[in-house]
Amino acid sequence: MATPSLLFKQLFDQASGTYTYLLADSISKDAILIDSVFEKYSRDLSLIQELDLNLIACLETHCHADHVTAAWLFKHTLGSKILASINSGIEVLDQQLSAGDVIEFGSKHLKVIETPGHTDGCVSYLLDDESMVFTGDSLLIRGCGRTDFQQGSAAKLYRSITEGLFSLPEACLVYPGHDYSGRTASSIGEEKKLNPRIGGQANENDFVGYMDNMQLPHPKETRHSCSGELKGG
Ligand SMILES: N[C@@H](CCC(=O)N[C@@H](CS)C(=O)NCC(=O)O)C(=O)O
Ligand SMILES: [Fe+2]
């Protein structure tokens, strides 16, 4: 009998610099979609149908300020569930997630790690064999999520990254929620060493000082809060 392998696709939305991740068990065809984008619904629906996958759930890493999720559309057409943190502020969830919760798809699963700081309801999803972690906007490649709005807290994010994500195996691949310069993945070891905000010798004071002085413009697409049908992602 064939052994199930992981089917994995990293998808990109140019307008918001967002990554969407499709994961599936190659035998059972059960699939999960992480951080879908409203405008990319048709692209992702076609892919799911072409690959003959059974979409179990759309997961959100947090309530996004810069794009709207397609999770509601997938729920409507495919009957998939919508899952996000209990602290996400997203009103209509099929399951509210907390630390340690496990989301199964076929023979595989993702485990929830709470990584607040960019927002209160940020979570990361760790693959069962600890080979991949989907960090949303908690840890970005050579960066991290901003902490200047949406209940952001640089001190919380420091703890989430240093005590949570940086305790994962160095070889664990980091798949972020965004990248604004075309990079696709990193690893825990690489970010521990090279992340200019929180890697190397940076301590909490360095990090908080850096984050409190970033003065980033608000995202181009900021337009909603996380309640109701068209919002929530
Ligand atoms: N330049 C981007 C910035 C978007 C932005 O603020 N992204 C958030 C994620 S929702 C963030 O945390 N960015 C961190 C950073 O750019 O360092 C845009 O305008 O779209
Ligand atoms: Fe974000």
Residues within 5 Å of ion ligand 2, judged at the Cβ atom: 64, 137
In 3D space, the residue among 224, 217, 66 whose CA is nearest the CA of residue 148 turns out to be 217
Q: Which-ligand-closest: CA of 66?
A: 1
* Whole-prediction pTM: 0.95
> Ligand 1: does its nearest atom lie under 6 Å from the Cβ of 220?
yes
Whose tokens are 């490649």? That residue is 141
| Per-residue pLDDT, 124 | 98
The Å distance, Cα 7 to ligand 2 centre, comes to 26
Cα–Cα dist 120/85, whole Å: 9
> Ligand 1: does its nearest atom lie under 6 Å from the Cβ of 146?
yes
| Cα angle 24-2-74, degrees, rounded to a multiple of 5 | 20
Whose tokens are 């496990």? That residue is 102
| Per-residue pLDDT, 2 | 86
Which CATH number applies to 6-212: 3.60.15.10, 3.20.20.370, 3.40.50.1100, 3.40.220.10? 3.60.15.10
The Å distance, Cα 231 to ligand 2 centre, comes to 14
Q: Which-ligand-closest: CA of 146?
A: 1
C-beta separation of 136 from 160 below 8 A: no
Cα–Cα dist 112/32, whole Å: 14
Whose tokens are 């927002």? That residue is 119
By most ligand atoms within 8 Å of CB, the mutation choice from 14, 37, 66 for ligand 1 is 66
Q: Which-ligand-closest: CA of 88?
A: 2
- Tens place of pLDDT for every residue, the chain, 233 residues? 788 899 999 999 999 999 999 999 999 999 999 999 999 999 999 999 999 999 999 999 999 999 999 999 999 999 999 999 999 999 899 999 999 999 999 999 999 999 999 999 999 999 999 999 999 999 999 999 999 988 999 999 999 999 999 999 999 999 999 999 999 999 999 999 999 999 999 999 999 999 999 989 888 766 455 654 333 33
List the chain domain ranges: 6-212
Cα–Cα dist 35/176, whole Å: 10
Cα–chain center distance at 4: 24
From residue 185, give the alpha-carbon distance in Å to each of 55, 76, 104, 176, 216. Answer: 24, 31, 23, 7, 23
Q: For ligand 1, atom 6, which residue shows the shortest CA distance?
A: 219
C-beta separation of 13 from 5 below 8 A: no
| Per-residue pLDDT, 229 | 37
